[in-house]
């Protein structure tokens, strides 16, 4: 998916878009957010573990989380850059 198409459509759907850089080999233990998340990896790789799925996402891949969905997350050896849409 093209980055411009990704951000344009999500803005139309009422999402706020932020860019986040994640340091190499970093992780966050289980937590949740009060908002829905749709994110695209634009550099490096990023993993998300939920009760239903444990997956590492590469450049161009998109993942989503529902509000209050418990998950852990982190970046690999190269770190990661994400475009994160939330509402």
How does pLDDT run across 37-57, given as a tens digit for each residue?
999 999 999 999 999 999 999
Query: Which residues of the chain fall short of a pLDDT of 70?
Result: none
pLDDT at 1: 73
Phi first, then psi, for residue 71 (nearest 5°) are -155, 160
- In this predicted structure, what is the pLDDT of residue 52? 95
Residue with tokens 């982190």: 74
The sign of the torsion formed by the CA atoms of 85, 9, 75, 47 equals positive
Complete domains list, the chain, with CATH: 3-86 (2.60.120.10)
């Amino acid at each position: 998916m093209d980055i411009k198409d990704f951000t344009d459509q999500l803005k139309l759907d009422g999402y706020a878009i932020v860019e986040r850089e994640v340091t190499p080999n970093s992780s966050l233990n289980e937590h949740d957010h009060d908002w829905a998340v749709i994110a695209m990896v634009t550099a490096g790789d990023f993993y998300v573990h939920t009760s239903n799925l444990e997956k590492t996402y590469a450049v161009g891949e998109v993942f989503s989380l529902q509000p209050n969905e418990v998950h852990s997350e982190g970046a690999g050896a190269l770190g990661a850059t994400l475009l994160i849409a939330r509402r």
